[in-house]
Chain A
Amino acid sequence: MTDSELITNAAGGDDSAFEQLVKIYEKRVYTIAFRMTGNPDDAFDISQEAFLRVYRSIGSFKGDSKFSTWLYRIVSNLCIDYSRKSKKISTVPLVVTRDEDEDEVDIPDTRFDPDKELDRRELARNIEQALSKLSNEHREILLLREIEGLSYEEISEVTALEAGTVKSRIFRARQKLREALIRNGNIPDDFPSKNSKGERL
Chain B
Amino acid sequence: MKGLGNSGNCEYFSELISLKIDGEISETQLKELEDHLEHCEKCRETMKVFSMLHEASGELLIDPPDGFSDGVMYKIGVEKNRKRGASRFLPRLIPLAAIAAAFAFMFFNGVFDQALSSSSSITDTAGETTRLLQGAPSVASSSGSTKDSRSVQPADGSQESASVTEKEASADSVLTFSDASDTQQPAQFSASANSQQNTAGYISGYTFSSVQYVALSGKDVLETIQYSDKGIYGDYECFIVEEDIFLQIADELDIIQAPDNATNSLPSYELSGTSGFVLIILTDK
A147 near B57: Cβ-Cβ < 8 Å: yes
Q: What is the 8 Å Cβ interface bit string for chain A, positions 86-127, against chain B (1 contact, 0 not)? A: 000000000001000000000000001010000011011001
A residues 119-177 in Cβ contact with B at 8 Å: 120-121, 123-124, 127-128, 131, 142, 145-147, 151-152, 160, 167-168, 170-171, 174-175, 177
User: How many angstroms between the C-alpha atoms of A40 and B235 in the bound complex?
Assistant: 26
List chain A residues, Cβ under 8 A from B54: 146
B225 near A152: Cβ-Cβ < 8 Å: no
A19 near B69: Cβ-Cβ < 8 Å: yes
* Minimum CB–CB distance for A35 against chain B, Å: 7
Given contacts A47-B68, A62-B226, A57 and B61 within 8 Å (CB-CB)? no
Residue of B nearest to A41 (CB): B65
B residues 15-47 in Cβ contact with A at 8 Å: 15, 18-19, 22-24, 42, 45-46
List chain A residues, Cβ under 8 A from B59: 120-121, 123-124, 127
List chain A residues, Cβ under 8 A from B283: 81, 84
List chain B residues, Cβ under 8 A from A201: 9, 11-12
CB of B208 closer than 8 Å to a CB of A: no
CB of B87 closer than 8 Å to a CB of A: no
* Minimum CB–CB distance for A95 against chain B, Å: 10
- The chain B residues found within 8 Å of chain A, CB to CB, are 1-2, 8-12, 14-15, 18-19, 22-24, 42, 45-46, 48-50, 52-54, 56-65, 68-69, 71-73, 75-76, 79, 219-221, 223-227, 229-231, 235, 245, 248, 251-252, 255, 283-284
* CB pairs A–B below 8 angstroms (14 shown): A47-B64, A53-B220, A53-B223, A57-B225, A60-B248, A73-B223, A74-B224, A81-B283, A81-B284, A146-B57, A147-B58, A171-B18, A191-B45, A199-B10
In this complex, the member of B11, B18, B57, B224 whose beta carbon has the largest number of chain A beta carbons within 10 angstroms is: B224
Among A62, A121, A175, A198, which residue has its beta carbon within 8 angstroms of that of B1? Answer: A198
CB of A6 closer than 8 Å to a CB of B: no
**Known pairs A19-B69, A170-B18, A174-B50. 18 more at Cβ < 8 A?**
A23-B69, A27-B64, A40-B65, A52-B76, A53-B223, A55-B72, A56-B255, A57-B221, A62-B226, A112-B49, A124-B59, A131-B60, A146-B54, A147-B57, A147-B58, A151-B22, A152-B22, A201-B9
* Minimum CB–CB distance for B248 against chain A, Å: 4
User: How many angstroms between the C-alpha atoms of A61 and B146 in the bound complex?
Assistant: 37
B226 near A30: Cβ-Cβ < 8 Å: no
- The chain A residues found within 8 Å of chain B, CB to CB, are 15, 18-19, 22-23, 26-31, 34-35, 40, 43-44, 47-48, 51-57, 60, 62, 64-65, 70, 73-74, 77-78, 81, 84-85, 97, 112, 114, 120-121, 123-124, 127-128, 131, 142, 145-147, 151-152, 160, 167-168, 170-171, 174-175, 177-178, 187, 190-191, 193-195, 198-199, 201
* Minimum CB–CB distance for B230 against chain A, Å: 4
In this complex, the member of B57, B221, B284 whose beta carbon has the largest number of chain A beta carbons within 10 angstroms is: B57
* Minimum CB–CB distance for B97 against chain A, Å: 15
List chain A residues, Cβ under 8 A from B75: 48, 52
Among A146, A171, A190, which residue has its beta carbon within 8 angstroms of that of B60? Answer: A146
User: How many angstroms between the C-alpha atoms of A170 and B15 in the bound complex?
Assistant: 9
Residue of A nearest to B1 (CB): A198
Given contacts A56-B252, A127-B53, A146-B54, A160 and B69 within 8 Å (CB-CB)? no
Among A57, A97, A190, A191, which residue has its beta carbon within 8 angstroms of that of B62? Answer: A97
Given contacts A70-B226, A97-B62, A190 and B53 within 8 Å (CB-CB)? no
A199 near B11: Cβ-Cβ < 8 Å: yes
B10 near A194: Cβ-Cβ < 8 Å: yes
B68 near A30: Cβ-Cβ < 8 Å: yes
List chain B residues, Cβ under 8 A from A124: 56-57, 59-60
Residue of A nearest to B226 (CB): A65
List chain B residues, Cβ under 8 A from A145: 22
Among B223, B231, B252, which residue has its beta carbon within 8 angstroms of that of A77? Answer: B223
List chain B residues, Cβ under 8 A from A60: 245, 248, 251-252
A120 near B226: Cβ-Cβ < 8 Å: no
A123 near B56: Cβ-Cβ < 8 Å: yes
User: How many angstroms between the C-alpha atoms of A19 and B67 in the bound complex?
Assistant: 12
